[in-house]
Structure 1
């Protein structure tokens, strides 16, 4: 049976695999940094090109470290302590993995719909893999769930989720999100600050383009 004692802060790494940084990714990264800092953990964004211009919100984010190196170089001497969160892994993440691993690695961008298996690029590097259940998550949700499991010792199947929530765009329009989210205390999906407004703006723009 898993211990209920919280595990000391871990390192959560997103290997940025996109040539650009979209606004929604920046919001997710800012949320990960803020929550990691509050939980005594570190958020590392790796493989960031030197010429990359990060949004100001990320440049000053507490809990965030930017690395131009990739994970293979950064953790070359402790590869066995790195866990890759992999939708294709045969085993779900468990609280005991908080004892087995110090670093939890995510391939960005995780929140593709449909999924493009971006994690395959990291899978080839030979890291031990764990999955977070059968439903696709956004990157910030994947990190949030992982932190809850390995630091707070909550089994992955006991976390309160909401799948494919519907967001009200306007009085007559709504959009269904194709991901799994963690529920907050009111039952609403936890999303990064500013994400709902961004989704609404994008949806309104798409509707305008059709007119």
Structure 2
């Protein structure tokens, strides 16, 4: 039984929304709706176009304000998921914090320290382990630990660097850690495998 729904905030650090991020955000919104959570995309530029499918989610809020303004006076209730934090995320953090903050885009390969801009704002940080995760995976793991409280961070079923096979001749290895679904496969946003395959085809085409 899940406890009271938490708020998951992604501070969007890019001017536009790429297709990869859009699929991740749609996945976060859908799962937030299913689990009585809230998903806020904060710090959006004035001319930012929110995709209609994202706007349609009851769990989703688009915010032009940054997290500092949204949680003015409640900074201690916000946890920054930070690879450089001193402590790992634990189920009891669900009692300490109401909101969990992610710096997009986590899924950079190689990782850039995108979280440093948020770290400077003084939010208390927690780590999600040593492996790089996509943004939707980071939110999923955080929710499992602090809201569902089913398992601790090291007990979440993970799959590291899975290989995606498109056909007998084409495959690609993903450089991220994913949560494993009931079918033993990595949980990925709807349409992500197709997008990755399309991108792979595109890069091959660019060679000619």
Q: Same fold (TM over 0.5)?
A: yes
Equivalent residue, structure 2, for 1:133: 129
**2:183 is the alignment partner of 1:186:** yes
**2:174 is the alignment partner of 1:174:** no
Aligned residue for 2:14, secondary structure, equals coil
**CA deviation map 1:29-51 (0-9, x unaligned):** 00001101110010000011221
**CA deviation map 1:80-139 (0-9, x unaligned):** 010000011111000000000001000011110011010000000000000110000000
1:39 to 35, 41, 49: 35
2:20 to 1, 19, 24: 24
More displaced stretch, 191-200 vs 5-14 = 5-14
Q: CA deviation at 1:170?
A: 2.9
**2:206 is the alignment partner of 1:209:** yes
Q: Which runs of 4+ in 1 moved over 2 A?
A: none
Q: Hey, what's the Cα distance between the residues in 2 that align with 1:55 and 1:207?
A: 29
Q: Is the 8 A contact 1:169 1:203 kept in 2?
A: no
1:104 to 97, 100, 106: 100
Q: CA deviation at 1:171?
A: 2.1
Aligned residue for 2:103, secondary structure, equals strand
Q: Hey, what's the Cα distance between the residues in 2 that align with 1:164 and 1:182?
A: 11
**CA deviation map 1:152-177 (0-9, x unaligned):** 11201000000000011332111000
Aligned residue for 2:17, secondary structure, equals coil
Q: Hey, what's the Cα distance between the residues in 2 that align with 1:14 and 1:29?
A: 9
Equivalent residue, structure 2, for 1:158: 155
RMSD: 1.0
Q: Hey, what's the Cα distance between the residues in 2 that align with 1:102 and 1:201?
A: 38
**CA deviation map 1:2-50 (0-9, x unaligned):** xxx6321000000001111101100000000110111001000001122
**2:61 is the alignment partner of 1:59:** no
TM-score scaled by length of structure 1: 0.96
Q: How many residues are paired up? A: 207
More displaced stretch, 65-74 vs 52-61 = 52-61
Equivalent residue, structure 2, for 1:148: 144
Q: CA deviation at 1:57?
A: 1.7
2:11 to 12, 15, 20: 15
**2:112 is the alignment partner of 1:116:** yes
Q: Is the 8 A contact 2:15 2:48 kept in 1?
A: no
